[in-house]
Each structure stands twice: as C-alpha cells, then as structure tokens.
Structure 1
Amino acid sequence: MNAGVEATGAGEGSTLVAQEVRELVQRSAQAAKLRELISQFTADAKSEGAGALRNLRRK
C-alpha cells in the first residue's frame, strides 16, 4: 500500500512540475514579447531623436 501511495504522490508531483514548467514557458514567452516591444520603442525613440537633432542642425 505504501508503494501505491508513493506512486500516486510521485504522479501528482510530476503533474505539479509539468504545470510549473508550462507556466514558466508562458512567462518566458510574455517576457520575450515585452523585450521586443521595449526594443522597438527604443529604436523608434532613437530614430525620432536623431531626426530632431538633424532638424535643429539645419536651423
């Protein structure tokens, strides 16, 4: 009986670990999307800043 209880516990543990892994993968994907947005925002801001600087130099 103890072996059956341990096997059940191990199965539940595996299920919990699998759930944690799925959640980690989801959070990692969300973080990657956020990094991409930040990167794009930074590139856009840099481009706008460079354009503003060029306009100031022309005046």
Structure 2
Amino acid sequence: MTCRDACEPGAIRFSLAIGGARPRVEAGICTGCGECVPGCPASAISIVPRPMEETADA
C-alpha cells in the first residue's frame, strides 16, 4: 500500500480481490502527479497521458 501512502490527495483506494487487495484510482481526485508510480511494488499503477480535447473554437 505504499502507492496509497505516497498519494497526497488520497486518490488511491484498495478493493479486496482474489489473491489480495488491488489499487483503484479515483479519477476525480487524482491530480496526475505520478508520485504513486515509483512506490508501487507490484507495478499495478501507471500514468498515461490523455489525448488533448478539441475545443469548440478550433
């Protein structure tokens, strides 16, 4: 749970699953800082950039 501990806004929650707990990132809380990634011993979290959204003025 080191990824959860590294997440300052508290966006990472754990759900029980077969074989142990699994991290779940709350997208509405996550800032995308990436502090959780290096601390995750199972490499279960990654940061992927979102495509830029087109604006109505474009």
Q: TM-score, normalised by structure 2?
A: 0.16
Q: Which has the higher strand share?
A: 2
Bigger radius of gyration among the two: 1
Q: Which has the higher helix share?
A: 1
Q: TM-score, normalised by structure 1?
A: 0.16
